[in-house]
Amino acid sequence: MWVFGRRPLEEALKANRPIENVWVAEGTRLPAEWIQVLQKRGIPIQRVPRRRLDHLAGEARHGGIAFRLSAISLADPWEIAHKTLERKGYAVFLDRVQDPQNVGNIVRSAYLLGATGVVVSEHKTAPLSEAMVRASVGAAFYLPIAKVTNPIAFLTRFQKAGGYVVAIETGGQMITEFTLPFPVFLVLGSEDLGVRRSILKHADGVVTIPIQGQVNSLNVASAAAIALFKAQTDWRQAHEQA
């Protein structure tokens, strides 16, 4: 998988991700410390014409840097579930979120706001691609990400183990009036499809983010950031009172 840009390369080096090789456009300089790390790890650096990177990246912005990354190793979804249960924390479940930019942005918010991981439904969900990694700005190198083929079975098993499932969807209780239970999976769906009814049926709660204006929904990545901030706030308050 090819990944583009300075920031993703910096994060991949910090996270010691398996980089196969690095292409640098003529006229672009890498920091000396990056070169030292790459050379120490035996990762080849190749100078190439900028037009070659333009062709490789397509519409993606590359900033003169491209690197081939071994496929992201997916976590075991139950490792994320167990970690969430043990910490009495919060994780994210994405149901049919099809835009890799949104998935990447959600992974970034989940990492920065303290989630234990992100689990995605395999059916009708964006592939964990270069676009997702780039949108996560390197967070995908740090936060556990997993896939499941049967969302209902996974979430129900989590509930039976002592966890909760709360869907972020229209028609629910206002998020400002709802205190999240822990441990919890926050479930979000795409703008077009939303969270599937079968998940809503099994959820312990449905929470709605109040909006104003003529647009009828938030971008799912924005909704995830708001829900994660709420989870972080409620989690801290719960631990302060414990």
Q: CB count, 10 Å around CB of 199?
A: 23
Q: What is the pLDDT of residues 188-222, one digit of tens each?
A: 998 788 999 999 999 999 999 998 765 556 899 99
8: CATH? 3.30.1330.30
What does the alpha-carbon distance between residue 82 and residue 98 come to, in Å, rounded to a whole number?
Answer: 26
For 53, the token pair is 């990177």
Q: CB count, 10 Å around CB of 234?
A: 17
Residue finishing a domain among 69, 97, 126: 69
Are residue 55 and residue 82 in the same domain, yes or no?
A: no
Three-state secondary structure call for residue 61: coil
What does the alpha-carbon distance between residue 96 and residue 189 come to, in Å, rounded to a whole number?
Answer: 6
pLDDT, position 135: 85
Residue finishing a domain among 69, 90, 113: 69
Domain extent at residue 91: 77-241
Contact 103, 132 (CB under 8 A): yes
Are residue 52 and residue 149 in the same domain, yes or no?
A: no
Residue 15 has pLDDT above 90, yes or no: no
The DSSP output letter for 141 is G
Are residue 31 and residue 118 in the same domain, yes or no?
A: no
* Contact residues for 222 (Cβ-Cβ < 8 A; gap 6+): none
Quick one: what percent of the chain has pLDDT higher than 70? 95
pLDDT, position 1: 79
219: CATH? 3.40.1280.10
Are residue 173 and residue 105 in the same domain, yes or no?
A: yes
- Find, among 239, 11, 34, the residue nearest to 108 by Cα: 11
Residue 79 CA, distance from chain mean position: 16
The larger pLDDT score, comparing residue 106 to residue 58, is at 106
Q: CB count, 10 Å around CB of 134?
A: 22
Q: Model's pTM, two decimal places? A: 0.78
